[in-house]
Amino acid sequence: MSSETAPESGTRARTRRAILDAAVEVLSQNAAAPLSDIAAHAEVGRSTLHRYYPERDDLIVALGEDALDKLSAAQIRARPTEGPADAALRRMSHECFDLGPLLGLIYGDPQALSNEAFWVRLSTIDAPLFELLERGRADGTFSSTLKVRWVRHMLWWCLLTGWESFAHEDYSRTEAIEAIDETVARITGATAAH
């Protein structure tokens, strides 16, 4: 079995996870942060970081894949094909809320994770959201005449704004989510459930 296909040890997996988590936190605040800042935040040496990710681009690609895995899992948990479209959209935004720092990387600075494979996969992951918005429009749940792509962009910006209000202002988690729900309901022409 080659080293590329061998399962990763628990220690290596934890170190890799610590580096990726630190990269999210550091790069969501400063996309140009040096790798030494990420290593320090992960509490590993630069040489350790370089063993896992020899080049900055390697870390960025891994970070993008990790972000997309988490976004995909959140959307699956939201069950976007079940129930009324407005309820499914609320579930989706609630599931994605805690991805705030990742959303900051993905949407706050699109160049931070810029590689073609990332954007192709993101469009695939976003497909259920597009289908949900189109379903809601077709069945009359959403009355907005805004283009679906616009609504999608606004949903992600609402989530990012909600997360930042929670993380950096005096919003509670509940207040931030309620503000997201109300904003998204207005954008889609649906009624927010409180």
Instruction: Provide the residue ranges of all domains of the chain, joining segments of one domain with +.
Output: 1-54, 62-188
CATH of 62-188, one of 3.40.50.2300, 1.10.357.10, 3.10.310.40, 3.40.50.300: 1.10.357.10
pLDDT, residue 3, reads 47
CA 78-80-83 angle, 5° bins: 105
Give the single-character DSSP code of 85.
H
CATH number of 1-54: 1.10.10
pLDDT, residue 192, reads 46
pLDDT, residue 193, reads 45
The b/e string for 116-148 (b: 16+ C-beta within 10 A; e otherwise) is: eebeebbeebbebbeebbebbbeeebbebebeb
pLDDT, residue 4, reads 53
pLDDT, residue 64, reads 86
CA 189-96-143 angle, 5° bins: 10
The residue ranges of the chain whose pLDDT is under 50 are: 1-3, 192-194
Say what the pTM is: 0.81
